[in-house]
């Protein structure tokens, strides 16, 4: 209610956030796991004097720097731009609640960048021991960045005691912090293994060296898989009741969970039977297939993690349509249109006759507006109240399709009690008059009842038949 509405046609804003975020996670987790791999393996290669392996690690470090620093930085900035436009109230809350955490993370991010460049560009100009230490400085800073960001993002799924205390540490050390840190650390190691196998399969021509790289890269991947499994079970146990019910009750999430489990099983089997036991299996085709299964599992997992927050965008604090949980009752009294700066300004500019000198909205004047004006106001209510999850006429979860063939009474109940229709929808936060305008708008765009199908009003109870319905 404090920001203007940002329209993303067809896709909806939250889905755009999900796409940009997953594209970033694919590389940001590799930035952590790959840093740990490079530090450990550079130390091993220098200690054993394996010049061929060390030469490969230098080649991989160039790929690592280009992907994580360049692509990672661009997508990281893209996330801030996207969430700032699509979820401004939630973004504002995260900044204010965790400003100290963000400041610490930026410091470690700066250390990451400096260490990464020194590690690569001074490869032959530093003493071996110093060079290894720089690698470990990068790896440590990257992992601490992961921990800090995980604490903040995990807060969105389970805010713990923060809504009562508003204390930084209560928000950061939320019930989801440890399980997600464990799972993300494992995911970082697993993704690093997949990236290394892919890069090695495409770059190394000597079979003996490829076998060494594949087998050594498989070890952190298998460890990562175990950490992901343990963290995921803990993650499920620490879910709020609404998130747990959303996970098992939404068909789309059931499918994504099956994708996660299936892809994870395939990756684990391929990683163990291939690079770890039979590194000779590692060919470009094998590595690409392994990598794609890994991306499928990680991507589906990220979508599930984001989706189960409904009806909240920040658990127990802000609903998915950018309304404070504590603000709902007041908006039902004074009205949604009058309760927001942008909606109130829009209404006053176009229909000043319905706005009182004190800034309140005259509901009787709303009811007297022409039909076209009422539908436009209903559309504005839809944009601010519903469009964060639903497209209108066409696109993701378009209401025109979902409410196809609904009666006026069904639409009325949907608007007044959306949480009863689907528990993961936010409650209505407006007056009865505004609900009527939204109902009229939804009725104007809903698809008609499909021709040829029986309608509920064609059935009547047969007198004395014990309540059985008989077709007429």
pLDDT of res. 460:
55
Give the 3-state secondary structure of residue 273.
helix
Q: In sequence order, what are the beta bridge partners of 461? A: 469
pTM: predicted TM-score of the whole model, two decimal places: 0.89
End-to-end CA separation in angstroms for the chain: 49
pLDDT of res. 456:
63
pLDDT in tens, 231-262: 999 999 999 999 999 898 888 899 999 999 99
Spell out, as residue ranges, where the chain has pLDDT lower than 70.
1, 456-472
What CATH code is assigned to 329-449? 1.10.760
Domain definitions of the chain by residue range: 13-319, 329-449
pLDDT of res. 296:
95
Asked if residue 441 lies in contact with residue 411, where contact means CB atoms within 8 angstroms, the answer is no
Asked if residue 260 lies in contact with residue 306, where contact means CB atoms within 8 angstroms, the answer is no
Q: Is 304 left (phi over 0), alpha (psi -120 to 50) or beta?
A: alpha
Question: Among 3.30.310, 1.10.3470, 1.20.1630, 2.60.120, what is the CATH number of 13-319?
Answer: 1.20.1630
pLDDT of res. 139:
97
Give the 3-state secondary structure of residue 11.
coil
pLDDT of res. 59:
96
Cα-only R_g, the chain: 27
pLDDT of res. 467:
46
Q: What is the C-alpha separation between 393 and 164, in angstroms, rounded?
A: 40
């Amino acid at each position: 209610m404090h920001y203007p509405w940002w329209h993303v046609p067809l896709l909806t804003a939250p889905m755009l956030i999900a796409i940009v975020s997953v594209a970033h996670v694919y590389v940001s987790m590799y930035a952590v796991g790959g840093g740990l791999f490079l530090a450990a393996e550079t130390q091993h290669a220098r200690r054993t004097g394996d010049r061929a392996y060390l030469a490969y690690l230098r080649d991989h470090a160039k790929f690592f720097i280009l992907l994580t620093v360049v692509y990672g930085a661009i997508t990281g900035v893209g996330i801030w731009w996207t969430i700032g436009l699509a979820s401004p109230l939630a973004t504002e809350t995260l900044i204010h609640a965790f400003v100290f955490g963000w400041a610490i993370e930026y410091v470690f991010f700066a250390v990451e960048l400096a260490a990464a460049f020194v590690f690569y560009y001074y490869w032959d100009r530093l003493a071996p021991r110093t060079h290894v230490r720089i690698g470990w400085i990068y790896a440590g800073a990257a992992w601490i960045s992961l921990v800090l960001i995980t604490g903040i993002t995990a807060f969105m799924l389970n805010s713990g005691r923060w809504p009562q205390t508003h204390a930084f540490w209560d928000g950061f050390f939320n019930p989801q912090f440890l399980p997600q840190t464990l799972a993300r650390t494992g995911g970082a190691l697993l993704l690093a293994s997949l990236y290394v196998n892919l890069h090695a399969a495409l770059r190394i021509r000597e079979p003996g060296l490829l076998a060494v790289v594949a087998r050594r890269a498989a070890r952190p991947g298998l460890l990562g898989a175990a950490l992901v499994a343990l963290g995921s079970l803990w993650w499920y146990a620490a879910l709020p009741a609404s998130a747990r019910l959303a996970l098992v009750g939404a068909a789309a999430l059931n499918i994504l969970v099956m994708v996660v489990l299936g892809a994870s099983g395939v990756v684990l089997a391929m990683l163990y039977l291939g690079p770890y036991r039979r590194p000779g299996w590692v060919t470009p085709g094998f590595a690409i297939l392994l990598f794609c299964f890994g991306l499928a599992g990680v991507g589906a997992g990220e979508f599930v993690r984001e989706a189960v927050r409904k009806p909240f965008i920040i658990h127990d604090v802000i609903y998915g349509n950018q309304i404070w949980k504590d603000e709902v009752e007041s908006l039902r009294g004074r009205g949604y249109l009058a309760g927001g700066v942008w909606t109130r300004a829009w209404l006053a500019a176009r229909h000043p006759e319905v706005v009182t000198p004190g800034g309140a909205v005259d509901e009787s004047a709303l009811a007297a507006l022409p039909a076209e004006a009422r539908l436009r106001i209903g559309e504005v209510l839809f944009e601010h109240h519903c469009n964060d999850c639903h497209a209108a006429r066409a696109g993701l979860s378009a209401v025109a399709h979902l409410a196809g063939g609904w009666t006026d009474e069904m639409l009325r109940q949907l608007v007044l009690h959306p949480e009863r229709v689907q528990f993961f929808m936010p409650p209505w936060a407006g007056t009865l008059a505004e609900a009527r305008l939204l109902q009229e708008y939804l009725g104007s765009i809903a698809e008609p009842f499909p021709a040829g199908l029986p309608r509920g009003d064609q059935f009547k109870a047969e007198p004395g038949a014990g309540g059985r319905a008989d077709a007429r």
